[in-house]
Amino acid sequence: SFVLAVRNEKALRELTPEFWKGWNMRPGAAYVSDSGQDFVAIRTDLDGSTSADENPYATAYEGYVNIVLNASFPGRLPFWFKRGLQSFFGNTLVREKDVHIGRLIKRHLELLNRGARFSLPSLMKIESDSPEFRQQAARDVFEAESWLLVHYLFFGEEGTNQAKLNRYAGLLRIGHPQAD
């Protein structure tokens, strides 16, 4: 794995030109995995204080979560679970005196409030090669809903689901299938 610090957006674009295709936003970081190597590039001209809602380095954090999950779980994780965890931890904000984990992602909430959703069984069947993931609008709903489900499992019902989430992750770690 490599982590690179770049001066500004222009340098990030020059370093990762393929990453920028199809983006309609201006990320503060890039994560690329190629041939078994992971590359993370972070802009140094951002300090994360400009947005109270989302981390400008979310892409880098999501990439790091991907690396940790791949190293921690011997088998393939359910796609919704992996992507949900990546989004959940990707929006971690590290401040001078505190760390905010599991912050709400406004764009996900706005999208889901417009009514687009998958049923829970449908969500859990989607994989990276599924038609629902290859279409941008459906992918956005999948990402938002996966994040929301993981967020609910961490914090919903006053945190009582955390034990179930930990048990589920433990079963996946020792090789049990998602359905178990």
pLDDT confidence of residue 24 = 60
Strand partners, 38: 33
pLDDT confidence of residue 148 = 96
Burial class of residue 125 (count of CB atoms within 10 Å of its CB; 0-12, 13-18, 19+): middle
pLDDT tens, position by position, 96-132 = 788 888 889 999 999 999 988 999 999 999 999 999 8
Helix (H) or strand (E) holding 66: helix 58-72
pLDDT confidence of residue 49 = 53
Higher pLDDT, 42 or 140: 140
Higher pLDDT, 33 or 63: 63
Position 94 pLDDT exceeds 80: no
pTM of the model: 0.80
pLDDT confidence of residue 22 = 62
- 5 confidence band (pLDDT: 50, 70, 90): confident
Tell me how far apart the alpha carbons of residues 30 and 142 are, in angstroms, rounded to a whole number: 21
Position 50 pLDDT exceeds 70: no
pLDDT tens, position by position, 70-84 = 888 888 899 999 999
Position 146 pLDDT exceeds 90: yes
Tell me how far apart the alpha carbons of residues 110 and 121 are, in angstroms, rounded to a whole number: 22
**How high does pLDDT run on average in the chain?**
85
Higher pLDDT, 52 or 135: 135
pLDDT confidence of residue 47 = 64
